[in-house]
Amino acid sequence: MSSETAKPKVATIWLDGCSGCHMSLLDTDERLVDLVNAVDVIYSPIVDPKQFPEDVTVTLVEGAVSSEHDREMALIIRKNSKLVVSLGDCAVTGNVPAMRNAFKTTELLDRAYKENAAHNAKHPTVGLSPLIEKAQPLHAVIDVDLFLPGCPPPADAIFTLITDILAGRETQVTELTRFGR
Ligand code: SF4
C-alpha cells in the first residue's frame, strides 16, 4: 500500500446549511496546505464527486436535516464513516433551519412559492426534495461522535478538531468556540 492511500480519508458535506461553516474551514488559510498534505479529501463541495464514498475516516457535516434527501444522505454518511462530526450550530441544534418548525411544511411552501410569487405561483414539481415536517439536528437522525458548536465554528476550532482527530488526541476544542459565535 502506498503512503498516499494510507492517508486518512476526509469528507465534508452540507445538508440544510448556508455554507458558512465550510467558509470557516477555508478560513484556516495557509494551514489548509498542511491539512491537504495530511489527508485525502475524498468528498466535499470543494472536490465535487457525485457519490458519497465508502470507508471514510471522518466526515464533517454542516447543516440540519430538513428534507428526505438530507435524511438519506445522513444515513449513508453514518454507514460509510468511522467518525461523524456535527459541524456548527445548525447540525448541532437545528439552529436557523429549525426556525421554520413552528409552521407546517405546506404553509412554508405556500409562502415561498405562491404568496410571494409574481408569476407562475405554484409549488415546484421537480428539483426539490420533499421537506420533512421538522428540521432536525443531525444527532436526532444518526449517531454523532463529536459536536463542534458555533455559527460558524471559528477556523481555529475546526483546524484544532481535525488535527486532534488525526493525532488520536482527545480534543478540548469547545474551549475555542461557543454556540452562536
Ligand atoms: S451554523 Fe451558522 S454558518 Fe453554519 S450553516 Fe448554520 S447558519 Fe450557516
29-44 residue pLDDT tens: 999 999 989 999 999 9
Hey, which of 18, 24, 85 would you mutate to test ligand 1's pocket, going by the most ligand atoms within 8 Å of its Cβ? 18
85-116 residue pLDDT tens: 999 999 999 999 999 999 999 999 999 999 98
Q: What is the pTM of this model?
A: 0.92
Q: Where along the chain do its domains lie?
A: 9-98+131-176
Atom of ligand 1 nearest to the CA of 20: 3
Nearest to 90 by CA among 123, 65, 121: 65
Q: At the topology level of CATH, where does 9-98+131-176 sit?
A: Rossmann fold (3.40.50)
> What confidence tier does 125 reach under pLDDT thresholds 50, 70, 90?
confident
The span from the CA of 75 to the CA of 110, in Å, is: 29
The span from the CA of 22 to the CA of 87, in Å, is: 9
The span from the CA of 164 to the CA of 179, in Å, is: 21
Pocket of ligand 1 (CB under 6 A): 17-18, 20-21, 62-63, 88-90, 95-96, 151-152
